[in-house]
Amino acid sequence: MGDHKEQPLRVGAAVRRRRRSLDLTLAVVAERSGLSVPFLSQVENDRARPSTGSLEKVADALRTTAVELLAAADPACSVDVVRAETTEPGPGPRSRSLVRGHHQMHASEFTGDHEAGREFQYRNDQLMYVADGAVEIEAEGRAYRLGRGDTLYLTGGVRHRWRATVPDTRVVVVAVAEHIEAVRDRKR
């Protein structure tokens, strides 16, 4: 119950994302696929489920495969619960994913410290929230000290590194998933 794997896939969002990433209109996809604009609109809005043949035509028009579109499809559920760990926390740094599956958003919780010298750079925007403790973050040549309840927003492409300055610090990182092209080449 609540597990998104039990739900049918919604391929419409994957079709829309792929079409938009190629800067194509529905009319162009309709012309390439031989399907109608109204039908394609219904598919993108999950009001119609394409047959295998129609999905293959759409995939061809979008220069991909039906398998890739299905892999990028969203589960139909709108709620998925990820329970807190039931085991006692062990020594050393830990991390856990707060979002399961292939979604537009990724979230992780980091507890303790990690490789302080490790540099990160994500394709898309991310938000760091200090749930407990304190961290030092170096980004764009500046150092930031954050305490419990503080957040830091980083646009895609910003190189940064961070370290916990208090034992058992918990940091939640929420980011637009890497498979989403949310940030086009920003001019710096």
Using DSSP, state whether 52 is helix, strand or coil: helix
Average pLDDT value over all residues in the chain: 82
- pTM of the model as a whole: 0.56
**132-to-1, 85, 90, 113, 166 alpha-carbon distances in Å:** 31, 17, 17, 12, 9
Instruction: Name every residue whose Cβ is closer than 8 Å to that of residue 104 and which is 6 or more positions away in sequence.
Output: 176, 177, 180
User: pLDDT for 116-142, tens place per residue?
Assistant: 677 888 888 999 999 999 999 999 999
* Amino acid 121: pLDDT: 84
Residue 41's pLDDT band (boundaries 50, 70, 90)?
Answer: very high
User: pLDDT for 156-178, tens place per residue?
Assistant: 889 999 999 998 899 998 888 77
The rounded Cα 163 to chain-centroid distance in angstroms is 24
**178-to-4, 103, 106 alpha-carbon distances in Å:** 20, 10, 9
